Every structure is written in C-alpha cells, then in structure tokens.
Chains A and B, each alone.
Chain A
Amino acid sequence: MKIKKVVELLNAKVVSGHDHLEAEVEFCFASDLMSDVLTVETENLLLLTGLANLQTIRTSEMSDISKIIFVRKKNATEEMIRLAAENEMILIECDYSMFKTSGILFSAGLKPVY
C-alpha cells in the first residue's frame, strides 16, 4: 500500500517527508514502547505510536524505520522533524486512537509483523 493511501484512510496530516508519499509499505507495528520496537527485525515497517519524543525518531533511525504515524493527537516537535528530515523519514500525525488506527490499517491490508 502506498503511504499516500494510509494518510487518506486515516484523515491524517503529513508533517515531514512529503516527498515519500509514493513509498510502499507492507507491514505495520503498533507500540508506545521503544524497547519493543528495537526487537522487531521486519523490513519496510510502518510504526504506529503514541510516544512523541526524540527517542521515537532515534529508535526508528536505528531500526531502519522510515515511516512513523503518531496517534492520539500527539504532535512531532521541531527537533523531531529536523532529525526525521535528516534521516529521510515521513512523519504523520493522526487524531485517531491506536486501536482505531490499527483497525483501519489492518482492514485495508497492512500486515502484522507477528
């Protein structure tokens, strides 16, 4: 699925990395715990998280995750956007809960990592 489609389904807002909207994504992982994110080995992963701080971006950088959706109306800070841009990531803000977001994306065909 194209990221553009994900944004549309979630009625979400892209805050960084607009030029990556055509990128494809196959798997999704939802977690507020970065320790868990760091154990995932799946490639081309979309991260759903309600944790919006600099370590969310750092964790994604180390895990080769370049697509992040912040759920529950969490916003990315300027510093997060700067670091994300440096690492060519797309950051998306979504007003829905983690459950609703997961449900929509699962129904649309995104796969779980396990």
Chain B
Amino acid sequence: MMHFEFHVEGGNFLKAGAASSQLKKILKQLNVDPKTIKRVVVAMYEAEVNIVAHAYKGDIYIDIDTKKIEITLIDEGPGIPDIDLAMKQGFSTASSVVREMGFGAGMGLPNIKNNSDELTITSEVNKGTTVKFATYLNQ
C-alpha cells in the first residue's frame, strides 16, 4: 500500500497538472501498464483542473495497492448545487479564463467517469466538493 498527497491552488493555471504529472511518474516507476496509466492520469488531470478552475484550494490523496488506484480530491470552494446536471456533457459554469486555457466545455466530469471504474461525487454549496474515484489494475 502506497500513499501520496498533493496540494492544489485554486486559480493557478501555471501549476495546474503538476500533481497529475507527479502521479504519472510514480505509476511509470511502478511499471503500471501504459493504458491504465493514461486512464488514471487523464481522470486525475480533469479533476485537478476542476479544482484550479472552480475552487479556492484543494488536497489530493492517492492510495495505490495491488488491486486499484484510489484518488480522492477534496476542495474548498463554491460546491456543486446539482451534481446530476454537472455530470451532463456540455454543462459548464467555467469562467472565460478557464475557457481560454482550453477547458470549460462541460466534459470534465463525464470524462472522469469514462476513465475510472468507481466514481462518487459529494458536494456542499459554499463549502466544497469531494470527488473520489478508483481505477482497477490488472484488468
């Protein structure tokens, strides 16, 4: 069992993806199969960008064992009033700054779902959002 933690600053697009990049290096070192690495890091990057785009700050907790990689992202931010709506492809509340960076098309959460085997999202308005997902190894 391995555990890693990363801190994410809201609004800082210069650092967005730094945690996902670290995770990719770790998974490569662990000799995880490249297709699984891509699924995990794409999901993680989408979630990390979501914190940068929407929240004030957040923390990422990663647990890796022989069966799965489990990632929990907990942010302090505006929260998501309607999670079902946020999961719909094309729905977005992203700012123009986020869109200028090439995001905010309302595809992030559906893409996290697509690249993970388990996904739960809980949120409290004006408090924050927790996104937890897992990807199985050795499929």
- Rounded to whole angstroms, the CA-CA distance of A17 and B139 in the bound complex is 34
User: Are B101 and A55 interface neighbours, CB within 8 A?
Assistant: yes
Distance to closest chain B CB from A2 (angstroms): 23
Instruction: Given A35-B102, A63-B38, check contact A54 B14 (CB 8 Å).
Output: yes
Cβ–Cβ < 8 Å partners of B21 in chain A: 58, 61-62
Bin chain A's interface residue count: 20 to 34
Indicate if A34 sits at the interface (CB-CB under 8 A). yes
Indicate if B24 sits at the interface (CB-CB under 8 A). yes
Distance to closest chain A CB from B49 (angstroms): 8
Distance to closest chain A CB from B19 (angstroms): 11
Residue of B nearest to A56 (CB): B102
Instruction: Given A62-B41, A63-B42, check contact A55 B17 (CB 8 Å).
Output: yes
Instruction: Given A36-B107, A38-B111, A55-B17, check contact A62 B102 (CB 8 Å).
Output: no
- Rounded to whole angstroms, the CA-CA distance of A34 and B52 in the bound complex is 15
User: Are A64 and B34 interface neighbours, CB within 8 A?
Assistant: yes
User: Are B13 and A54 interface neighbours, CB within 8 A?
Assistant: yes
Cβ–Cβ < 8 Å partners of B102 in chain A: 32-35, 37, 51, 53, 55-56, 59
User: Are A53 and B101 interface neighbours, CB within 8 A?
Assistant: yes
Per-position 1/0 for B28-65, Cβ under 8 A of A: 00000010001001101110010000000000000000
User: Are A55 and B24 interface neighbours, CB within 8 A?
Assistant: no
Cβ–Cβ < 8 Å partners of A107 in chain B: none
Distance to closest chain A CB from B107 (angstroms): 4
Contact of B13 among A35, A36, A55, A64 (CB under 8 A): A55
User: Are B16 and A55 interface neighbours, CB within 8 A?
Assistant: yes
Cβ–Cβ < 8 Å partners of B46 in chain A: 38
Distance to closest chain A CB from B117 (angstroms): 16
Indicate if B95 sits at the interface (CB-CB under 8 A). no
Instruction: Given A63-B38, A64-B38, check contact A39 B114 (CB 8 Å).
Output: yes
- B: which residues have CB within 8 A of A? 13-14, 16-17, 20-21, 24, 34, 38, 41-42, 44-46, 49, 100-108, 111, 114
In addition to A58-B45, A62-B41, A63-B42, 6 A-B residue pairs with Cβ atoms within 8 Å of each other are A34-B102, A36-B105, A38-B46, A54-B13, A58-B20, A62-B45
* Closest 7 pairs (CB-CB, A-B): A34-B102, A58-B17, A35-B105, A35-B107, A62-B45, A62-B41, A55-B101
